[in-house]
Amino acid sequence: MKILIVGTGYVGTTTALVFCEKGHQVTGLDVDEKKIRRLQSGQLHFFEPGLDELLKKHLREGNLSFTQNESKAIEENDIIFICVGTPQDEDGSADLKYVQDVAERIGKNLNAYKVIVDKSTVPVGTADKVTKWITQHQEKTVPFDVVSNPEFLREGSALHDALKPDRIIIGHSSEKALHFMRELYKDFDCPFVDTTQKTAEMIKYAANSFLALKISYINELARLCDVLEIEVDDISKGIGLDHRIGEAFLNAGIGYGGSCFPKDVSALLKTAETNHQSLSILEAAVKVNKSQPKYFIEKLQAALGSLENKVVAVLGLAFKPNTDDTRESPSFKIIDDLEKAGARVKVHDPTVKVGSGYTFKQVQTVEECVSDTDAIILCTGWEQYKAIDWVSVRKRVRFPFIVDGKNILNANEIKHAGFDYYAIGKS
Ligand SMILES: NC(=O)C1=CN([C@@H]2O[C@H](COP(=O)(O)OP(=O)(O)OC[C@H]3O[C@@H](n4cnc5c(N)ncnc54)[C@H](O)[C@@H]3O)[C@@H](O)[C@H]2O)C=CC1
Ligand SMILES: O=C(O)[C@H]1O[C@H](OP(=O)(O)OP(=O)(O)OC[C@H]2O[C@@H](n3ccc(=O)[nH]c3=O)[C@H](O)[C@@H]2O)[C@H](O)[C@@H](O)[C@@H]1O
């Protein structure tokens, strides 16, 4: 099948490569000329393991191309995936301006029957809006169908998640569109859920919100574990072995961030509010998450006293390992709190390079970052931070104090190296 991907960000590029792997002919379209030029030359504009090789391979084999010629791209393809961003609007809802823009452009250029697929995360009722926006801008009356097919990949393991999904959700209102989607996904070995558009839209928000809820639950339990001197990791393991609960997403730490959980939870809360319903359990999850960075800063203050003029090393800026995405990264909340308390901050991250305009200092190596510091805070669970030689770091620091914001470091090793070690729900 000939597939057009509109929006070549994390989701669009991964989706394009996955369909290439399944033998389809794929075109990527984006309004960002720089991104398109980079992709055309075989270079990714973001960091994501495994995608680089596939990009080069499919460009070479000729079943992948990138363009800015919108009318031609829309006319020549059978299925159009909308993969543009749906950022949080000022009132907390999902801002659909990019989706609307794409829908209107599709409407203008529609020349024959096509299936238009919402892969972006969009609130309940968006498939109807997309249908309306397309119809209003059609210059020729041509039939089309809108399908909701939410994406569940995680950054850092995008390729694996998209090639081997746990499920494929297809929300539709036409048997013809369903047939197209079944054909498209016929080589995927996972449950295929055939449902309504509104249900598919809701499944996506319900899934992300449930995972966010799980994290806030374990984070709040971890605070209680701190007081009771219990290891929260043992609790996660003990409850996670119950298959009804599951071990995943029970790692306590500085809270969840990223381009999706914060905005999607907020959008679902807004949907509830607009419909005069309450999702108080989710409101509590947000409250816990917002206060989580502060909990760690307070540990630091309790040990060091005033942070005025203290030098603090922050390890990690990405919101999670194996990505260079810093959207809603808890690291920035930690840095902000540290700076407000008067500390001077040095930062290291293996993939993120911040530009100018920041008050903190970014350095190239871990050694440089930790040297002459009064405390070290680990904010991103990069593998390389687990392998740090703490005995040698001990010789470089002014004060031996480590806060492990991801609960991943070896506490015994660090204590033996002469550091005071603080995590959450971990002694
Ligand atoms: N990042 C992730 O891990 C996941 C994201 N999602 C959802 O997928 C959607 C996309 O997310 P990302 O890929 O992270 O966004 P992104 O911000 O990385 O990429 C969006 C792309 O759309 C392009 N764009 C905007 N307007 C356009 C237009 N009119 N025509 C063509 N291109 C246009 C932008 O230039 C950009 O390259 C969001 O709704 C997000 O919630 C869903 C699952 C995972
Ligand atoms: O809609 C989306 O964009 C995606 O959002 C998340 O994926 P992602 O944000 O890439 O990353 P996650 O691995 O889910 O991590 C999100 C945040 O939760 C934190 N987290 C995760 C797990 C955990 O146990 N504890 C914890 O604090 C991570 O450090 C990170 O800050 C979901 O896991 C994906 O299924 C979904 O498709």
- pLDDT tens, residue by residue, 20-31: 999 999 999 999
Percentage of the residues of the chain whose pLDDT score is greater than 90: 98
What does the pLDDT look like over 54-74, one tens digit per residue?
Answer: 999 999 999 999 999 999 999
Which residues sit in the known binding site for NAD(+)?
Answer: 30, 35, 86, 121, 155, 263, 327
> What pLDDT was estimated at residue 6?
98
Phi-psi region of 192 (alpha: psi -120 to 50; beta: other; left: phi over 0): beta
User: Residue 427 domain-assigned?
Assistant: no
Fill in the amino acid letter for 98.
Answer: Y
User: Residue 206 domain-assigned?
Assistant: no
What does the pLDDT look like over 318-377, one tens digit per residue?
Answer: 999 999 999 999 999 999 999 999 999 999 999 999 988 899 999 999 999 999 999 999
Which tokens sit at 102? 């794409």
What does the pLDDT look like over 372-385, one tens digit per residue?
Answer: 999 999 999 999 99
> What pLDDT was estimated at residue 199?
98
> What pLDDT was estimated at residue 427?
84
pLDDT over 90 at 1, yes or no: no
End-to-end CA distance of the chain: 56
Whether 329 and 238 share a structural domain:
yes
Whether 215 and 189 share a structural domain:
no
Among candidate residues 128, 160, 195, the one where a domain is terminated: 195
Among candidate residues 171, 195, 219, the one where a domain is terminated: 195
Fill in the amino acid letter for 13.
Answer: T
Whether 258 and 190 share a structural domain:
no
Whether 238 and 297 share a structural domain:
yes
What does the pLDDT look like over 130-182, one tens digit per residue?
Answer: 999 999 999 989 999 999 999 999 999 999 999 999 999 999 999 999 999 99
What is the H or E stretch that residue 315 is in?
Answer: strand 311-315
Among candidate residues 137, 166, 195, the one where a domain is terminated: 195
User: Residue 200 domain-assigned?
Assistant: no
Whether 229 and 284 share a structural domain:
yes
> What pLDDT was estimated at residue 273?
98
Whether the CB of 16 sits within 6 Å of ligand 1: no
C-alpha of residue 208 to centroid of ligand 1, in Å? 17
- Quick one: CA torsion of 353, 356, 361, 364, rounded to 10 degrees? 30
Fill in the amino acid letter for 20.
Answer: C
Which residues sit in the known binding site for substrate?
Answer: 152-155, 204, 249-253, 257, 320
DSSP one-letter code for 272 = H
CA distances from residue 398 to 160, 308, 421 in whole angstroms, order as listed: 43, 15, 15
Whether 97 and 150 share a structural domain:
yes
> What pLDDT was estimated at residue 351?
96
Whether 166 and 227 share a structural domain:
no
Exposure string (b/e) for 267-293, b if CB count within 10 Å is 16 or more? bbbbbeeeeeeebeebeebbebbeebb
User: Residue 205 domain-assigned?
Assistant: no
C-alpha of residue 400 to centroid of ligand 1, in Å? 42
**Which structural domain, as residue segments, surrounds residue 46?**
2-195
Residues 191-216, mean pLDDT to the nearest whole number = 98
Whether 269 and 364 share a structural domain:
yes
Atom 4 in ligand 1: which residue has the minimum CA distance? 11
Please tell me which residue in 20, 83, 260, 369 is annotated as part of the active site. Answer: 260
User: Which residue bears the tokens 């080589």?
Assistant: 187
- Verdict on whether the full-model pTM lies above 0.90: yes
Residues 255-277, mean pLDDT to the nearest whole number = 98
Whether 191 and 215 share a structural domain:
no
pLDDT over 90 at 50, yes or no: yes
Whether 30 and 173 share a structural domain:
yes
The C-alpha atoms of residue 95 and residue 418 are separated, in whole angstroms, by 50
CATH number for 15: 3.40.50.720
User: Residue 201 domain-assigned?
Assistant: no
C-alpha of residue 82 to centroid of ligand 1, in Å? 8
Residues 86-103, mean pLDDT to the nearest whole number = 98
Ligand nearest the Cα atom of residue 210: 2
User: Residue 334 domain-assigned?
Assistant: yes
Whether 176 and 227 share a structural domain:
no
Name the residue of 4, 6, 8, 11 whose CB sits within 8 Å of the most ligand 1 atoms, as the mutation to test its pocket. 11
CA nearest 312: which of 260, 245, 277, 363? 363
Whether 151 and 191 share a structural domain:
yes
Atom 15 in ligand 1: which residue has the minimum CA distance? 85
Residue of 140 and 389 predicted with greater confidence: 389
Name the residue of 152, 256, 329, 382 whose CB sits within 8 Å of the most ligand 2 atoms, as the mutation to test its pocket. 256
* Ligand 2 neighbours by CB, cut-off 6 Å: 121, 151-155, 208, 211, 215, 249-251, 253, 256-258, 260-261, 319-320
What is the H or E stretch that residue 231 is in?
Answer: none
User: Residue 204 domain-assigned?
Assistant: no
Residues 80-101, mean pLDDT to the nearest whole number = 98
User: Residue 358 domain-assigned?
Assistant: yes
For the question of residue 369 being annotated catalytic, the response is no
Whether the CB of 14 sits within 6 Å of ligand 1: no
The C-alpha atoms of residue 295 and residue 403 are separated, in whole angstroms, by 11
> What pLDDT was estimated at residue 99?
98
> What pLDDT was estimated at residue 212?
98
The C-alpha atoms of residue 304 and residue 325 are separated, in whole angstroms, by 31
Whether the CB of 362 sits within 6 Å of ligand 1: no
Domain count, the chain: 2
